[in-house]
A and B are shown apart, each in its own frame.
Chain A
Amino acid sequence: MAVNEVEFTAAEGEIVGLIGPNGAGKTTFFNLVSGALRVSGGRIFFRGREITHAPAYRRAELGIGRTFQVMKPFPRLTVMENVLVGAFLRHPSRRAAEGWAAEILEMMGLSEFAAASARALTTAGRKRLEIARALALNPTLLLLDEVVAGLNPVEAEGTVELIRRIRDRGTTIIMVEHIMRVIMGLSDRIVVLTHGRKIAEGTPPQVASNPDVINAYLGTH
């Protein structure tokens, strides 16, 4: 079973880090929360409402936005149009949607690429576009799947700053990241998965000193 008996709660406005070795079930967990995969057991609640069997588009309507570990831009659309697709969910009028999309692009530092094809963006640009598209939904909960991985230090620092700004707008964030310096610095709380099970939960210092976590990452002698 890819994810089993994982239970935790994210408070509004909190950043929760989800870490674990490769294959621990982090992305699967995201897929379950966002509705990309169906759960075979257990229940999922979002703001007090059960969403266990809600389809992905319904969860997006309710306010769950996500990025994908393997980026999924709409390559034949421009950067602006990519964001516009999400903006239409909250702003049915074209003019309002365009205004909202432009605002998101400005926030993400993508305004100058608005007219460019999404496929023309660099890796860092595409990662920002993933976040921008999710933000266009004006989500209450944002699931970020390795949005810093693969970026150079300057780009990574910029993305970390962006994530802080998103949180400061009141958005709850659950993020998966392998770069410990980043996730430990950003998260209010860390949840650790291994082999699909939760093995630890706590503040970054608590988790960093947890013997089970050290064992999961480094193994035993």
Chain B
Amino acid sequence: MRPRIGPGTSSLTGALVLLALLAFYPAAFPSFMTLGVTIVLFAAMATAWDVLGGWTGQLSLGHAVFVGIGAYAMALLVLRNGAAPWWGAMVGVGASVAVAAMWGGVTFRLRGPYFALASIAVAEMTRIVANNWARLTGGAEGISLPGLPRFLGLDLFSRQVEFYMALVLLSLALVVAWWLQRSRFGYHLQAIREDEDAAMALGINPTRECGPSLRVLRSRRWGDHCTGSFSDFSSLAECSASTFRSSSPSWLTSEAPAHSSAP
């Protein structure tokens, strides 16, 4: 018998079935699209968070920082520079990756509760800056987008489009997670989670391995931004007690007409 390596086929089948079922959500629940978009986005973000939290066992309570930075970067570029949202999203990814690299370089030397506390500290510092640098971030009121150009002919403010883009993002996140888990990098992360001393005795450098795991998380965010769902990010931020309140315009939290401007 060939030994099982990597995630079993049952979990893969389960994920595929779930994604297939979700594809019918807009038809089945047209009145609950905000809920649907939120659920799918949170599933994608949870999958991404799992690369760090689930595989290395490092409890990060400050992921809202990256969500917020990515969201702000895109929104500011669109608003102030007139950039297309997809270019803004890519810059947002870059900004989040840069912050992740800086943060990880310092805090990945910490373990367990010390890392968790450090992640709260980073999130809290960023929140304070975001709330008080009103000229850039809009402070507590946040910033909002007046409208977005069509992307491949799609209305980015349509709830259905948002839902399916979120579903694509979730699918991508799951595929990347599945692939990573079977890779050398994935096994190294799992070994660190299981026992760091034993992992180091096998030639694994925890600081070097965990850094990319944080950046993997960021690099998946572009899809989130393409959906324009700031509100969902800020919900995540609030959940992790380190919110960017400014990134929560109401134009997406309600079933408001598309292209409405904000709070």
Contacts and interface: CB of A to CB of B under 8 A. Distances in A.
B3 A114 contact: yes
Nearest to A118: B194
Given A78-B5, A88-B188, A94-B183, A60 B203 contact: yes
A88 B199 CA distance: 12
Contacts of A76: 190, 194
Interface residues of B, number: 23
Contacts of A61: 203
Contacts of A97: 184
A84 B201 CA distance: 14
A115 interface: yes
A81 interface: yes
Interface residues of A, number: 36
Interface stretch (A17-25, A67-75, A120-128, A146-154): A67-75
Interface string B38-58: 000000000000000000000
A94 B205 CA distance: 19
A85 B188 contact: yes
A26 interface: no
A36 interface: yes
A134 to B, nearest CB: 8
A88 B187 contact: yes
23 contacts: A36-B197, A56-B200, A57-B205, A60-B202, A66-B201, A68-B197, A73-B198, A74-B190, A74-B195, A76-B194, A77-B190, A77-B191, A80-B3, A81-B187, A84-B5, A85-B191, A85-B199, A88-B187, A89-B202, A94-B183, A115-B3, A133-B198, A137-B203
Interface of A: 34-36, 55-57, 60-61, 65-66, 68, 72-81, 84-86, 88-89, 92, 94, 97-98, 114-115, 133-134, 136-137
